[in-house]
């Protein structure tokens, strides 16, 4: 007799939102409780935050002070100068991104920044007459660089030189060259500020790089005089916080150089302190890379008849630096955040500009002040750039295979 | 048998191409360069200092500082020296560092473990927490917590949040009960010494015993239990005699809210520190006038705030208008928000007999009903107050339960009380007794618990932390915990998967697997970077000026500005921070040695 077997149960689904929910949120009674409790807390917090941002907050003061946030007291009729530098920056970044090609880390970073510029361009076109055409120019310059890099890969060889030229020309353009009231008139550095100053100080990482490499090589040197000098420098500088070095630099640099305190702009003193501080940390990062290069590499290089200098520059350093790129990006993030400490020497960077906004008479008229709004805005802007860099750093890490080997 | 070929005779390397010679020459040149550079700089500095007439040595440290510091772990007044001000700053740094390290570790471990949770929501929260907080500058976070959150924190000083355990939290800070040694503490000290000695002895014995028997066992329970036993027994023996010391008495003035506990020794007054005193006031009044305040982001009009009094502290409390007739005429009513200390004056415009939002604001002037005097009538008020280090007591400033008008006027010096017309009238109408306060010094053991109170408008007794300190510690803890969380996550992930699987296979529960197998191994990887984060936290406390907290760097920069002693202060700061760094590296080396894998 034919007895039909029981139909087998349908296979347990392994895909779909329900399965995902079960696996990730409700896998056990404990997890279910956890999900409900934390979910309630998160929902409550987000609701309060959203309520504050959209209804309670008075963003008028933040909006009214955008120029102060961006450049502080930089003359309003000369805003084309920082924006021209920004256009140059985006052009060069675009060039790097174009050479790297779609999907490369530089391209991802570049497009994130382009998005930021695009938002600002739209806002500028609609609301800010004085920079109405300047911001879109920055956007266009970025795309021009990108297209150039795509169509002409040999740009890669020129780029380091282009960066150097950009750096020098940028500083010259920012400070101006001619006295009087012309287009290229001198703008004293005490008028620089806001996000512009934050970026200017952030470039301190560039000179700190060769200094840091030199210190790292010095620390690994066999000559005791050089070795112990480098160790002392690195350890003393790293032993104390940056804010203390900024303070000391602002007090001591005029004394050390025996010059009038006014002839050394505060920005220069802060720059020196930031560069030297960053160099000490850079040296430790690079040293880590030097230690990671196997001994055999330098021995093989010497066996091939390369000189000590050639061995270091052609064999050891390239491998060492490649290994520590993520660490250096991490250090750059730290430095970007640490530029906010220059308030101690009286400079008005992006963070300090926020402080100034909160104590304006118009801000004090608002019930309860506008501190929460201002500092939220400042935090969001810092976060955007720092987080973007940390994403790039993680991509780099994956690409270089550090930690996988 | 072969002989090695004779080495080719090499031409001797000329001296100037010998690597050793070049090295020596390079070093000599380098040293000369460095010495010359330092010489030029030192010369510059000395000429610059001489020209500006600034101090270049440490002799200024003995001078009177005149720097007011709000939070001082040791006794400090503005008349103390610069050296002592700097010491207070250093101790304040340590106070931030120690508390910050503990809480940053707890929070960091919590979020590090959360990042590895199987629950998607928990995992995501932890990821967002870490990513957001470590990508925002610490300076912004400190100012955010200080100026944007804690300073405009709604509970004002007289209306604090009362947390369990007698903790009071307001926009002035946090206060909590604290244990202090009394005059009887000396009787307990021998017991404590004995306890420590015994504990050490037992540790040594236990170590030796374990080594002799060649077994593995825990050492710490033995000395710990011994210490606790001896100390507790000693405490009870020492507190068997709880009598009040002979000649102890209190000099208390209820109308000033102040008193001194002292004992007469050979005709001189010796203040009794940390002595509990029961203060009883039969019948008294507290006075307050309504004010318009801005709390956090909202206006609080017409609020009346008395010093904090709990209902349980008095037999009878009533809160009334000073001049009931005038209040009746103006239509004022009293809405009690927090009995009896906080209330609101309002006019019942819609006539529903209740307080409704908006009724505390005068529609004509747009502000609240300002300057209305309100009284708190207390009968049988009783509070145990513990004197401070100098034997001082503080209570609310009582006024006589509506004494005759003449007496009141003579008692109040000109310009002290701003009596409104209503207040004067009230004084004249009622006719009650004068202020009657009694005090009693209580007996006490070696230790006393001091409760935090709010006598007028600041914390007294217990241990209190300023809002500046809280903001700084909060920002440092949260910022550092985001880095520690990443370290913890990395450390746990670095433990080989086989360890976990083997533990599960042996039948350990998930909790046991984590706490007994995975975590101890992860600790080895976690601790070194964690200690460097502790060092970072300590160094980052130098941003204290953003929260108005006086730690080492803040005090040093004030001293430097006052005296112009830039060089000595710079040396002092560098020295202090190097000492702190060195201390941390010593701990790090010890931990590395202690936790290093013992390899066979």
Q: Give one DSSP letter per residue of B279-324, joined into a string.
A: EEEEEEEEEEE-EEEEETTEEEEEEEEPPP--GGG-SEEEEEESSH
**Do A226 and B545 make contact, defined as CB atoms within 8 angstroms?**
no
Inter-chain residue contact A34 with B122, CB threshold 8 Å: yes
Same domain, B307 and B438: yes
* Best to test chain B binding among A243, A253, A402 (most B CBs inside 10 Å): A243
Quote the minimal CA–CA distance from B90 to chain A in Å: 14
Which of A39, A343, A354 has the CB atom closest to B121's CB atom?
A39
Tell me whether residues A337 and B137 touch, CB distance under 8 A.
yes
For residues B428 and B400, the answer to whether their CB atoms sit within 8 Å is no
Determine the average pLDDT of the residues in B345-373: 83
Instruction: Note the pLDDT of residue B402.
Output: 55
A222-249 pLDDT per residue, tens: 888 899 999 999 999 999 999 999 999 9
- Helix (H) or strand (E) holding B29, with range, is helix B19-52
Q: CA-CA distance, B374 to B287, in Å (whole number)?
A: 6
Residue A221's pLDDT is: 87
Beta-carbon count within 10 A of B232 CB? 12
pTM recorded for the entire structure: 0.87
Query: Domain locations in chain A?
Result: 75-186, 189-405
Whole-angstrom CA distances from A405 to A295, A397, A400 are 18, 11, 10
Burial B483-499 (b: 16+ CB within 10 A, else e): bbbbbbbbbbeebeeee
Co-location of B208 and B150 in the same domain? no
Closest residue in chain A to residue B132, using alpha carbons only: A383
Inter-chain residue contact B34 with A229, CB threshold 8 Å: yes
Q: Is the Cβ of A378 closer than 8 Å to some Cβ of chain B? A: yes
Instruction: Tally C-beta pairs within 8 A across A and B.
Output: 162
Q: What is the pLDDT of residue A51?
A: 93
Q: Mean pLDDT throughout B566-595?
A: 89
How far apart CA A327 and CA A389 sit, in angstroms, is 12
- Residue A182 predicted with pLDDT over 90: no
Least confident of A86-100, A349-363, B322-336: B322-336
Q: Which one of A240, A258, A340 has the shortest CB-CB distance to B574?
A: A240
Q: Which residues in chain B touch residue A382, judged by CB atoms under 8 angstroms apart? A: 135-137, 140
Domain shared by B206 and B353, yes or no: no
**Is the CB of B136 less than 8 angstroms away from the CB of A386?**
yes
Is position B60 within any domain? no
Q: What's the mean per-residue pLDDT of chain B? A: 85
Q: Which of B211-215, B263-267, B280-284, B433-437 has the lowest mean pLDDT?
A: B433-437
CB–CB contact B297 A372 (8 Å): yes
Cβ within 8 Å, pair B26-A248: no
Query: Per the CB < 8 Å rule, is A371 touching B553?
Result: no
CB-based contact (8 Å) between A371 and chain B? yes
Q: pLDDT of A299-355, one tens digit each?
A: 999 999 998 889 999 999 989 988 888 889 999 999 999 999 999 998 999 999 999
- What confidence tier does B4 reach under pLDDT thresholds 50, 70, 90? low
Q: Which residues of A touch B46 (CB under 8 A)?
A: none
The mean per-residue pLDDT over the stretch B324-342 comes to: 85
Please count the structural domains in chain B. 4
Rounded mean pLDDT of A256-283?
88
pLDDT at residue number B10: 66
Q: Establish if A225 touches chain B: CB-CB under 8 angstroms.
A: yes
Percent of chain B with pLDDT over 90: 35
Q: A138-147, B288-297, B571-580: which has the minimum mean pLDDT?
A: B288-297
A382-386, B129-133, B245-249: segment of lowest average pLDDT: B245-249
Residue B97: what pLDDT?
Answer: 94
- Which of A23, A32, A248 is the best mutation test for B, with the most CBs of B within 10 A? A248
In this complex, the residue of A238, A248, A354 whose CB is nearest that of residue B570 is: A248
User: Which of A373-377, B22-26, B550-554 has the weakest average pLDDT?
Assistant: B22-26
Confidence band of A38 (pLDDT split at 50, 70, 90)? very high
pLDDT band at B423 (very low <50, low <70, confident <90, very high): very low
In angstroms, the separation between the Cα of residue B35 and the nearest Cα of chain A is 11
Contact B574 A368 (CB under 8 A): no
**Closest residue in B to A352 (Cα–Cα):** B140
CA distance B423 to B445: 45
What pLDDT sits at residue B101? 95
Residue A375 has pLDDT above 70, yes or no: yes
| Average pLDDT of the residues in B245-258 | 86
Pairwise CA distance, residues B598 & B109, whole Å: 26
Q: Please, what CATH class does the domain formed by A189-405 belong to?
A: mainly alpha
What pLDDT shows up at residue B599? Answer: 57
Provide CB contacts within 8 A for A77, sequence distance 6+.
Answer: A130
Structural domain includes residue B394: yes
- Is the pLDDT confidence value at B532 over 80? yes
The answer as to whether B208 is a domain residue is yes
How many angstroms away from the CA of A278 is the closest CA of chain B?
15
CA A54 from centre of chain? 29
Q: Which of A244, A343, A383 has its CB closest to that of B136?
A: A383
On whether any CB of chain B is under 8 Å from the CB of A56, the answer is yes
- Mean pLDDT score, A367-372: 83
Residue in A with minimal Cα distance to B579: A239
- What is the least distance, in Å, from the CA of A369 to any CA of chain B? 7
With a CB cutoff of 8 Å and minimum separation 6, the contacts of B396 are: B257, B286, B306, B307, B309, B455, B456
Does the beta carbon of A330 lie under 8 angstroms from any beta carbon of chain B? no
Q: Is residue B393 part of a domain?
A: yes
Chain B residues with CB-CB distance to A327 below 8 A: none
Per-residue pLDDT tens for A62-103?
999 999 999 998 888 889 999 999 999 999 999 999 988 888
Lowest-pLDDT choice from A84-88, A100-104, B400-404, B518-522: B400-404
Which of B43, B141, B148 is opposite residue A372, by nearest beta carbon? Answer: B148
Q: Could you say which residues from 239 to 258 on chain A have a Cβ atom under 8 Å away from some Cβ of chain B?
A: 239-241, 243-244, 247-248, 251-252, 254-258
Query: Domain check: are B490 and B532 in the same one?
Result: yes
Higher local confidence (pLDDT), B158 or A105? A105
ipTM: 0.91
What average pLDDT does the segment A156-179 reach? 89
Mean pLDDT over B192-215 rounds to 93
Per residue in B112-153, pLDDT (tens digit) is 999 998 889 999 999 999 999 999 999 999 999 998 888 877
A57 touches chain B (CB under 8 A): no
**Chain CA centroid to CA A384, Å:** 9
Q: What is the mean pLDDT of residues B107-116?
A: 93
Last residue of a domain, one of B407, B442, B477: B442
Assess A356–B contact: CB distance below 8 Å, yes or no. no
| CB atoms B143 and A375 under 8 Å | yes
Examine residue B521 and state whether it is found in any structural domain, yes or no: yes
B329 with B433, same domain: the answer is: yes
Q: Which of A34, A243, A368 sits opposite B294 (nearest CB)?
A: A368
pLDDT for position A214: 94
Q: Under an 8 A CB cutoff, do A224 and B27 touch?
A: yes
Q: Which residues of B touch A238 (CB under 8 A)?
A: 581
Nearest to A226 among B27, B47, B580 (CB): B27
Site from A43, A56, A112, A258 to mutate, B interface, most B CB atoms within 10 angstroms: A258
Between chains, do B577 and A343 touch, taking CB under 8 Å as contact? no
CATH number for the domain that contains residue B510: 1.10.3720.10
Find the domain containing B392 and state its range: 248-442
Q: Do B542 and A243 touch (CB under 8 A)?
A: yes
Kindly report, residue by residue over A2-25, the tens digit of the pLDDT.
888 888 888 888 888 888 888 888
Q: Which residues of A touch B572 (CB under 8 A)?
A: none
What does the block give as tokens for A136? 């879109």
**Do B138 and A337 count as a contact with CB atoms less than 8 A apart?**
yes
Q: Are residues B541 and B408 in the same domain?
A: no
Distance from CA of A155 to the nearest CA of B (A): 33
pLDDT for residue B429: 41
- Cβ-nearest to B120 among A24, A42, A376: A24
Search chain A and give the residue with CA nearest B571: A248
Cα Rg for chain A, rounded, in angstroms? Answer: 27
């Amino acid at each position: 007799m034919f007895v039909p077997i029981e139909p087998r149960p349908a296979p347990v689904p392994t895909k779909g939102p329900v399965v995902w929910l079960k696996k990730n949120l409700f896998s056990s009674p404990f997890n279910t409780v956890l999900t409900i409790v934390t979910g309630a807390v998160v929902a409550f917090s987000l609701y309060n935050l959203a309520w504050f941002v959209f209804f309670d907050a008075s963003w008028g003061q933040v909006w009214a002070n955008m120029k102060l946030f961006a450049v502080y007291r930089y003359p309003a009729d000369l805003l084309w100068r920082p924006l021209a530098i920004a256009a140059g920056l985006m052009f060069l970044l675009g060039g790097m991104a174009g050479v790297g090609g779609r999907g490369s880390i530089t391209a991802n970073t570049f497009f994130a920044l382009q998005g930021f510029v695009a938002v600002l361009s739209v806002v500028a076109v609609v609301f800010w007459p004085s920079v109405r055409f300047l911001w879109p120019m920055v956007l266009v310059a970025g795309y021009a660089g990108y297209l150039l890099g795509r169509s002409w890969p040999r740009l890669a060889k020129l780029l380091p030189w282009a960066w150097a030229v950009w750096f020098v020309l940028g500083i010259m353009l920012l400070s101006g060259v001619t006295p009087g009231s012309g287009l290229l008139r001198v703008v004293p550095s005490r008028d620089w500020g806001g996000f512009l100053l934050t970026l200017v100080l952030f470039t301190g990482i560039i000179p700190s790089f060769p200094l840091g490499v030199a210190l790292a090589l010095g620390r690994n040197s066999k000559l005791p005089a050089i070795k112990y000098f480098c160790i002392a420098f690195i350890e003393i500088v790293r032993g104390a916080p940056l804010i203390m070095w900024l303070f000391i630099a602002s007090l001591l640099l005029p004394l050390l150089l025996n010059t009038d305190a006014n002839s050394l702009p505060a920005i220069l003193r802060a720059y020196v302190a930031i560069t030297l501080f960053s160099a000490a940390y850079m040296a430790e990062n690079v040293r880590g890379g030097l230690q990671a290069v196997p001994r055999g590499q330098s021995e093989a290089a010497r066996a091939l008849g390369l000189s000590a200098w050639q061995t270091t520059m052609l064999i050891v350093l390239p491998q060492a630096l490649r290994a520590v790129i993520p660490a250096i990006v991490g250090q750059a993030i730290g430095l970007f955040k640490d530029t906010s400490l220059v308030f101690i020497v009286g400079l008005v960077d992006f963070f300090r500009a926020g402080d100034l906004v909160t104590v304006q008479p118009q801000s004090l008229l608002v019930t309860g002040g506008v501190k929460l709004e201002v500092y939220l805005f400042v935090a969001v802007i810092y976060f955007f750039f720092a987080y973007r860099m940390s994403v790039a750093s993680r991509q780099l890490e994956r690409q270089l295979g550090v930690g996988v080997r | 048998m072969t002989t090695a070929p004779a080495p080719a005779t090499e031409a001797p390397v000329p001296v100037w191409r010998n690597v050793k010679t070049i090295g020596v020459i390079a070093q000599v040149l380098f040293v000369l360069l460095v010495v010359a550079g330092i010489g030029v700089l030192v010369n510059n500095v000395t000429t610059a200092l001489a020209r500006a007439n600034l101090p270049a040595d440490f002799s200024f440290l003995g001078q009177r500082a005149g720097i007011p510091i709000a939070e001082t772990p040791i006794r400090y007044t503005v008349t103390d020296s610069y050296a002592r001000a700097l010491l207070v700053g250093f101790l304040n740094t340590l106070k931030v560092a120690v508390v910050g390290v503990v809480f940053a570790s707890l929070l960091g471990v919590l979020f590090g473990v959360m990042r590895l949770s199987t629950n998607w929501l928990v995992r995501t929260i932890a990821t967002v927490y870490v990513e957001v907080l470590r990508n925002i500058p610490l300076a912004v976070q400190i100012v955010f917590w200080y100026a944007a959150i804690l300073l405009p924190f709604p509970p004002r000083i007289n209306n604090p949040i009362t947390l369990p355990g007698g903790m009071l939290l307001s926009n002035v800070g946090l206060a909590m009960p604290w244990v202090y040694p009394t005059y009887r503490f000396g009787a307990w000290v021998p017991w404590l010494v004995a306890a420590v000695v015994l504990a050490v002895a037992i540790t040594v014995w236990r170590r030796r015993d374990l080594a002799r028997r060649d077994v593995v066992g825990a050492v710490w329970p033995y000395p710990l239990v011994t210490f606790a036993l001896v100390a507790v027994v000693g405490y009870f023996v020492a507190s068997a005699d709880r009598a009040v010391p002979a000649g102890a008495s209190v000099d208390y003035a209820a109308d000033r809210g102040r008193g001194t506990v002292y004992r007469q020794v050979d005709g001189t007054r010796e203040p009794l520190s940390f002595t509990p005193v029961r203060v009883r006031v039969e019948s008294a009044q507290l006075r307050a006038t309504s004010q318009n305040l801005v709390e956090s982001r909202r206006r609080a009009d017409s609020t009346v705030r008395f010093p904090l009094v709990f209902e349980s502290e008095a037999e009878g409390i009533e809160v009334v208008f000073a001049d009931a007739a005038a209040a009746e005429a103006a239509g004022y009513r009293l809405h009690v928000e927090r009995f009896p200390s906080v209330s609101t004056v309002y006019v019942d415009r819609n006539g529903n007999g209740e307080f409704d939002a908006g009724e505390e604001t005068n529609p004509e002037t747009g502000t609240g009903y300002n300057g209305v005097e309100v009284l708190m009538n207390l009968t049988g008020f009783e509070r145990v107050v513990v004197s401070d280090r100098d034997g001082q007591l503080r209570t609310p400033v009582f006024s006589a339960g509506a004494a005759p008008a003449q007496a009141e006027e003579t008692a109040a010096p000109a310009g002290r009380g701003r009596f409104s017309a209503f207040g004067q009238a009230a004084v004249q109408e009622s006719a009650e007794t004068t202020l009657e306060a009694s005090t009693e010094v209580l007996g006490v053991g070696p230790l006393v618990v001091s409760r935090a109170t709010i006598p007028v408008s600041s914390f007294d007794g217990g241990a209190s932390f300023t809002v500046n300190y809280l903001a700084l510690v909060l920002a440092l803890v949260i910022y550092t915990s985001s880095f520690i969380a990443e370290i913890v996550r990395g450390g746990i992930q670095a433990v080989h998967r086989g360890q976990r699987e083997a533990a599960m296979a042996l039948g350990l529960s998930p909790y046991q697997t984590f706490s007994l197998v995975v975590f101890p191994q992860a600790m080895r990887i976690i601790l070194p970077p964690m200690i460097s984060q502790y060092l970072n936290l300590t160094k980052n406390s130098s941003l204290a000026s953003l929260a108005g907290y006086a730690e080492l760097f803040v005090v040093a920069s004030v001293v430097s500005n006052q005296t112009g002693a830039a060089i000595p202060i710079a040396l002092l700061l560098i020295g202090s921070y190097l000492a702190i760094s060195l201390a941390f590296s010593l701990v790090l080396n010890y931990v590395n040695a202690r936790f290093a894998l013992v390899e066979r």
